[in-house]
């Protein structure tokens, strides 16, 4: 039972992160490929504060918001005048650089050896409750912001940044808010993720994880606030369920990956990927 609850906690944390990435992609046109890297910054901030400076865990977690804000400001400055593939590429470069720093700054982060981490609560069920609340808050935030004037400014930024500037909709300010708020939340989620895992190393925040996070946010054609959660469910539970088929231990991991890759292809082939529907919607509106 604990095993399944652990998986559920992972789904809630990564699902909330994927929902944010999905919102940025679909509503703002920002393809954020540094999601896991920003989570990594939060994770290491919290862990280093808690384990090396002996700061209480809740305070250590609060400090992740500050480092998340700094990441958001840096991302905004770097991508200020960029769009589409170039913006995605800069976030990709940031992800590689952040991962490189985490991996190579051994005197501080212990590098690939990793760091054992103190858990947030002694009772695991409290962790799930916290993650459930956070995931719900992220979903509510995404749902409520979509209909507001800020949500409309975000769409204007996606559709025509120049026009939105001419209409005094302050697209740069909108981008700044998007990057800083999303980075603060991602960083906080990274902190919680680290305390949930009880051990962190750089491999949890590499570029592959960032791309998986993006894929989780794009893969299913359902409502934006819960899409990340459903994507995380698919990405985390399906490989685990395949584990129970009774595959040979030596090739089990590869077979799970193969089946997962195949399933993902089938989903895309059937045109069920959310971004496909989105494009169709835009075309029909036009």
Name the residues that contact another protein, by CB under 8 A. 25, 31, 78, 81-86, 89-90, 92-94, 96-97, 100-101, 103-104, 161-162, 207-208, 211, 215, 218-219, 251, 253-258, 260-262, 264-265, 268-269, 271, 273, 275-276, 279
Minimum distance between the CB of residue 94 and another protein, rounded to whole angstroms? 7
Instruction: Give the tokens for residue 50.
Output: 């808690």
Please give the C-alpha separations between residue 34 and each of 7, 89, 208, 234, 258, in angstroms, as whole numbers: 23, 10, 10, 21, 25
Q: Which lies closer to another protein via its Cβ, residue 120 or residue 231?
A: 231
Q: Which lies closer to another protein via its Cβ, residue 85 or residue 133?
A: 85
Q: Which lies closer to another protein via its Cβ, residue 167 or residue 262?
A: 262
Q: Which lies closer to another protein via its Cβ, residue 62 or residue 211?
A: 211
Label the pairing between strands 199-200 and 115-116.
antiparallel
Minimum distance between the CB of residue 283 and another protein, rounded to whole angstroms? 10
Q: Which lies closer to another protein via its Cβ, residue 140 or residue 262?
A: 262
Q: Which lies closer to another protein via its Cβ, residue 67 or residue 206?
A: 206
Cα distance between residue 273 and residue 117, in whole Å: 37
Minimum distance between the CB of residue 161 and another protein, rounded to whole angstroms? 6
Alpha carbon dihedral 202, 208, 211, 213, in 10-degree steps, equals: -50
SS3 116: strand
SS3 201: coil
Q: String of b and e for 159-173 (b: at least 16 CB within 10 Å)?
A: eebeebeeeebebee
Minimum distance between the CB of residue 232 and another protein, rounded to whole angstroms? 15
Alpha carbon dihedral 268, 273, 278, 279, in 10-degree steps, equals: -10
Cα distance between residue 284 and residue 286, in whole Å: 5
Minimum distance between the CB of residue 38 and another protein, rounded to whole angstroms? 15
Minimum distance between the CB of residue 11 and another protein, rounded to whole angstroms? 19
Cα distance between residue 16 and residue 8, in whole Å: 12
Minimum distance between the CB of residue 190 and another protein, rounded to whole angstroms? 19
Q: Which lies closer to another protein via its Cβ, residue 223 or residue 254?
A: 254
SS3 67: helix
């Amino acid at each position: 039972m604990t095993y399944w609850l652990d998986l559920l906690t992972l789904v809630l944390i990564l699902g909330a992160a994927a929902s944010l990435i999905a919102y940025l992609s679909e509503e703002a046109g920002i393809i954020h490929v540094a999601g896991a890297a920003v989570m990594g910054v939060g994770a290491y901030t919290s862990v280093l504060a808690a384990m090396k400076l002996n700061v209480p865990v809740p305070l250590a977690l609060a400090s992740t918001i500050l480092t998340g804000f700094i990441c958001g400001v840096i991302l905004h400055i770097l991508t200020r005048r960029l769009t589409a593939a170039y913006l995605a590429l800069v976030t990709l470069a940031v992800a590689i650089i952040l991962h490189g720093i985490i991996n190579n700054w051994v005197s501080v982060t212990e590098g690939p050896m990793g760091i054992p981490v103190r858990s947030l609560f002694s009772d695991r069920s409290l962790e799930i409750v916290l993650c459930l609340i956070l995931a719900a808050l992220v979903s509510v935030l995404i749902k409520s912001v979509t209909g507001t004037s800020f949500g409309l400014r975000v769409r204007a930024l996606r559709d025509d940044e120049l026009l939105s500037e001419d209409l005094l909709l302050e697209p740069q300010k909108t981008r700044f808010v998007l990057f800083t708020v999303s980075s603060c939340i991602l960083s906080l989620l990274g902190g919680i993720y680290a305390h949930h895992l009880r051990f962190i190393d750089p491999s949890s925040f590499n570029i592959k994880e960032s791309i998986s996070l993006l894929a989780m946010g794009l893969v299913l054609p359902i409502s934006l606030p819960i899409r990340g959660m459903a994507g995380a469910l698919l990405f985390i539970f399906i490989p685990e369920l395949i584990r129970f088929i009774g595959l040979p231990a030596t090739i089990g991991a590869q077979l799970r990956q193969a089946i997962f890759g195949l399933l993902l292809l089938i989903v895309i082939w059937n045109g069920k990927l959310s971004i496909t529907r989105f494009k169709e919607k835009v075309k029909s509106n036009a």
